[in-house]
Amino acid sequence: MRTIFVCLTAVAIVSAAPAIAQDNSGAQGKAAVDVNSRLVDQYNEHMGARQFGDALADLKRVKLEDGNREGRGVLYAMTANALLGLKRDREARDAIAKADSIAPQLPAVANVTFYGGLLTARFDISAEALDKMFARYPDAVRDIDLDSMSFFLRNEPKGQDRQNDDRRVQLARIGYGGDLNGDYFASEAIDILLKRADPAAAGALLKHVDQPMMIENMLVQKRYSALWPRLVEVAGPHLSKVRASSVAAAERAYSEKPDDHDLLEGFANALRHAGRLDDAIALRAKLPTAADMPSADEKLGWAVNNVAISLHEAGRGDEADRLFALLNDAPIKDAGWRVSMIINRVEMLVNDGKFERAVPLLDATESSAKNDGSPYAQQLVRRLRFCTLAGLGRQSDAAKVRADLLAHAKDAYHATVDALLCAGDVDEAEKLTLTALRNTDEKMRSSFEEDFVRGLQPIPLTSDDPSKWQGRWAELRKRPAIAKEYERLGRDMPPEFLPPKPDAAVVK
C-alpha cells in the first residue's frame, strides 16, 4: 500500500493546490494557498496512516472561492476518499457525484478517486473512475503509474468478468505501459479478443508487442493460428523486426536514465534475446565490483542475473557461476529477493551436468526458496535436488525426494515433468503431462500448455536453454498420446522464425 499512498499524495498536491491558487492574489491569497497546501499535506499523511476521520477534518478546513470549480471538484473527490475509509458509502457516493457534476472534464477528479479506491480497498470505485477516464480522457490513463494499475488488475471487482476484460483491452488499445511494458498488456488483450473470436481486433494490437518470447509463443501455439499470417509481417525473418525493436526501446530508455538499474536489467535482457550476447556481457562493466556488491538492490540483482545468463549462453559457464556467487554470497541485508538468483545459479550447474558442484549449494537454495520463494520456486528446487541426485547415480536418495516432488506437481507441472525425464522415467512423465493438460483450472492448464509446446520444440527457442535431457523430451514426444496433444495445441517453429545464431559461440 506504500506505493499507492505515494501516488495519492502526488495527485492531491499537484491537482488541488494549483487549483486553489488560481483564484487568489496578493498577500492574503498567498496565505490562503499556504494554509491549504499544508492541509492537503496533512490530509495525505492521515490517509496514508488510515486516519480517515482526521483526513476528513483536514479537508473541512480548506477554503476555496466559489468560482474555483476545478479545486472544488478535486476537494469533493478527496472528501469521498476519506468517507470511503470511514465506510460512509452513501455520503462518499454523493461526494463523487458532486465532484463529477462540478468538474466533469477534469481528469484529476477521476484520478484522485481511482487512487482513493485502491487505498481504501474499494476496487469497485477505482473501476468506475477508470471507466470514466476511458470514456472522457483516455490519454490521462497513461499517467497512472504501473504499480498502481497492476495492483488494481490483481484486485479487479468480482462479478464483472466482461467489464474487467474490456478494461484490459482498452489499456492495450491506448498503448498503456509504453515501449517497455506495453507488451504484457497487449498480449493479454490479444488473448481476450481471440477468445471472443475477434482476430481482426487482436491483430491490431500486435503493433504493441515486440517481446521475442511472446511472439514466439504466438507462432507455435495454435490458439494464435488466426494471427499467423499477420505475424509473418510483424516478426520479420528470424524475428528480426521484433528483436531490433525490443533492443532499440530498451537502449533508448536506458540511455535516458543510465542510473536506473531496472532499465539496465531490461537492456541486458533485450540484447540477450536478440542474440547479441557480447553486447549483453559488455554491460558487466556497469555492475558492482565485489567491494560494492553488498549495496546491491533487487533491480541491480536482476541486472547481474541477466548478464550471468548471457555469459552462460555464450559458453562461459564458469564466469557466469562466479558472477552469481558474487551476488548471492554478498552480505546484503534483507535480501530475500535473491531467491531467483540463487535458484538460477544451481539451475545452470545442473543443466550443464555439473552435479558435484551443485550439491554443496542445494541446502542453502532450498532454505532460500522455503523462506522467500513461492510454491513454484520451491518445486524448482525439488527438481534440482532430484535431478542432481539422479545425475550422480544416487538412486536411493533420489527416490526419497521423488514422493515429495510428485506431491507438489501442481505447483510447477513443467518442472516436475522435466525432473521425471532427467531420471529417465518417461512413463511417469507422460502420465503427469496428460494429467496437467486435463486440469480443470483454466489458468493453470493454459500455462502448462504453453510450456508443453515450447518444451517439445525440436530446436530450443529464445531463452530456452537446451536441456541436458533434451533427448528424453524428444522421446516423450514420440508417445502417441503426447504427439496427439502436441498436434492439437502447437506446431514446430517454422525455420524462417527460429532464433538467430548468437554472436558468441556456445561451448558447454
**Same-domain status, 358 and 506:** yes
Task: Name 221's bridge partners.
Answer: 490
* Structural domain containing residue 192: 161-233
Q: Are 379 and 408 in contact (CB under 8 A)?
A: yes
Helix axes 470-477, 426-437, angle to 10 degrees: 60
**Same-domain status, 419 and 355:** yes
- Give the total number of structural domains in the chain: 3
Q: Are 34 and 78 in contact (CB under 8 A)?
A: no
Residues 6+ apart with CB under 8 A from 419: 382, 383, 386, 387, 405
pTM (predicted TM-score): 0.86
Residues 6+ apart with CB under 8 A from 256: none
Task: Name 490's bridge partners.
Answer: 221
Q: Are 78 and 99 in contact (CB under 8 A)?
A: no
Domain assignment present for residue 92? The answer is yes
**Same-domain status, 172 and 51:** no
Q: Are 456 and 450 in contact (CB under 8 A)?
A: no
Q: For residue 95, which of 29, 449, 272, 122 has the smallest C-alpha distance?
A: 122
| DSSP classification of residue 177 | T
Residue 300 has phi, psi (to 5 degrees) of: -70, -35
Q: Are 206 and 231 in contact (CB under 8 A)?
A: yes
Percent of the chain whose pLDDT exceeds 90: 83
**For residue 80, what pLDDT is reported?**
96
Residues 6+ apart with CB under 8 A from 206: 186, 190, 227, 230, 231, 234
Q: Which of 117, 142, 158 is the last residue of a domain?
A: 158
Domain assignment present for residue 332? The answer is no
Q: Which of 218, 233, 248 is the last residue of a domain?
A: 233
Domain assignment present for residue 335? The answer is no
Q: Are 242 and 219 in contact (CB under 8 A)?
A: no
The segments of the chain whose pLDDT lies below 50 read 1-29, 31, 504-508
Q: For residue 130, which of 50, 369, 116 has the smallest C-alpha distance?
A: 116
Domain assignment present for residue 336? The answer is no
Q: Which of 180, 198, 233 is the last residue of a domain?
A: 233
**Same-domain status, 79 and 216:** no
**Same-domain status, 48 and 176:** no
Domain assignment present for residue 166? The answer is yes
> What is the CATH number for 131?
1.25.40
**Same-domain status, 87 and 154:** yes
Rounded Cα distance between 246 and 237, Å, is 15
**Same-domain status, 176 and 51:** no
Domain assignment present for residue 294? The answer is no
Q: Are 308 and 334 in contact (CB under 8 A)?
A: no
**Same-domain status, 142 and 196:** no
**Same-domain status, 2 and 149:** yes
Domain assignment present for residue 437? The answer is yes
Vertex 175 angle, CA 171 and 179, to 5°: 130
**Same-domain status, 182 and 142:** no
Cell of 25: 492574489
**For residue 387, what pLDDT is reported?**
96
> In b/e form, how buried is each residue of 271-289, taking b as 16+ CB within 10 angstroms?
bbbbbbbebbbebbebbbe
Cell of 440: 480443470
**Same-domain status, 393 and 433:** yes
Domain assignment present for residue 258? The answer is no
- Alpha carbon separation from 206 to 188, 231, 234, 259 (Å, rounded): 11, 8, 7, 31
**Same-domain status, 353 and 462:** yes
